[in-house]
Amino acid sequence: MTTTSFAPVFVSSETAKAVFDWTDAIRALQSAYARPVAPKSAPPRTVAAAGKTWLRTLPAVPAGGRYYGAKIMGMAMDAAVPGVEYVIVLFDRETSRIAAFVDGNLVTGFRTAATSAAALDRLAPRGPARLAVLGSGLEATMHTRAIASVRDVTEVVVFSPTPERRAAFAQAVTRDLGIPARGASSAQEAVEGAELVLAAARSKGEHPILFGDWLTLGATIVSIGSTIPEQREIDASVVARSDIIVCDTLEEVLDETGDMLAAHEAGVAFRDKSFSLADLMSGAIDERLKEARTRMYKSVGGGLQDIVVAELILGKAIEAGLVTPLPIEFETKR
């Protein structure tokens, strides 16, 4: 008697980095969000917490994909050496079995930046553009590379509070992408005159780092740093200045991010000009886009992004023979 093995595989961050491609990920996300996204297929993230321990879950069942699953991350802040680990669990529609465990650390950065670039590709006018970057960490690094894959970036100007970090960031951009880059001594200096603005760093005191009167008329803004009520990144004046606001998860961005809560408290009306990423990708707001001059994409991240990018990475890793088979098999309840 023969049995079929359904042993899952593991995909490391090293493998994810080796097989990842910005263009493929951006196109996959644009395709995923162009399909109707049923509310139950990508429900809101959930957070379980007790004391200094928390666990966050982001599930999704993308339409049309082979895999579905969830990203799980957690941290015990009072552990001897606290840190966050991420795992994306993929189930296979064809077998209904657990197919893979993907290290979600780098994937989280990849999917956030690729989704931002997917949105910016539909929001920002075509043509050469200067990119202002506020922040010099992993997200800023990944977003710069993702944006450069969909637009002709003529120059990158970066602001980070530490001169050494912004200098290193600029050097890496020129070395890796061949794009002229330089540091700026202030966020305002970086932003002035830029057609594309990336806000990817909150201040330590949770004060806004980007203001509306700094923006060039017609600029496109990507804001990714304020994802919960306690966090701040952009001033209410940026919300007021934006003619259209696209959100990856509409309700979460509008109701659960510090920036939008502050804008509401300041009396800024934004709900009638805010739309979902699915609205953007499906073409439902094309007419509104024609009238909009200053445009913003604001993100909190979502399980749909994780699963779409993880599926892409898993497929490439299998093809390249880079997955690690696991000597385990789960018992199936029937």
From first to last of the 334 residues of the chain, give the pLDDT tens digit. 344 668 999 999 999 999 999 999 999 999 999 998 888 999 988 999 999 999 999 999 999 899 999 999 999 999 999 899 999 999 999 999 999 999 999 999 999 999 999 999 999 999 999 999 999 999 999 999 999 999 999 999 999 999 999 999 999 999 999 999 999 999 999 999 999 999 998 777 789 999 999 999 999 999 999 988 999 999 999 999 999 999 999 999 999 999 999 999 999 999 999 999 999 999 999 999 999 999 999 999 999 999 999 999 999 999 999 999 999 999 988 8
The answer to whether residues 21 and 87 belong to one domain is yes
The answer to whether residues 90 and 13 belong to one domain is yes
The answer to whether residues 183 and 260 belong to one domain is yes
313 occurs within a structural domain: yes
102 occurs within a structural domain: yes
Half-sphere exposure of 52 (CA within 13 A, CB side): 7
Q: What is the pLDDT of residue 3?
A: 45
CATH number of residue 52's parent domain: 3.30.1780.10
CATH number of residue 293's parent domain: 3.40.50.720
The answer to whether residues 228 and 165 belong to one domain is yes
Q: Quick one: which H or E segment has residue 180? A: none
Query: How many domains does the chain divide into?
Result: 2
Per the CB < 8 A criterion, the answer to whether 190 and 132 are in contact is yes
The answer to whether residues 183 and 245 belong to one domain is yes
- Where do the H-state alpha helices sit in the chain? 13-19, 22-34, 104-123, 138-148, 163-177, 187-191, 236-241, 250-256, 258-265, 277-282, 286-291, 303-320
The answer to whether residues 173 and 196 belong to one domain is yes
The answer to whether residues 154 and 233 belong to one domain is yes
The answer to whether residues 280 and 167 belong to one domain is yes
41, with CB counted inside 10 A (0-12, 13-18, 19+), is: middle
Q: Are strands 67-76 and 220-223 parallel, antiparallel or unpaired?
A: unpaired
The answer to whether residues 158 and 267 belong to one domain is yes
The answer to whether residues 185 and 61 belong to one domain is no
Question: Of the candidates 92, 93, 94, 109, which has an alpha carbon nearest to the alpha carbon of residue 25?
Answer: 109
Full domain range(s) for residue 189:
113-301
49 occurs within a structural domain: yes
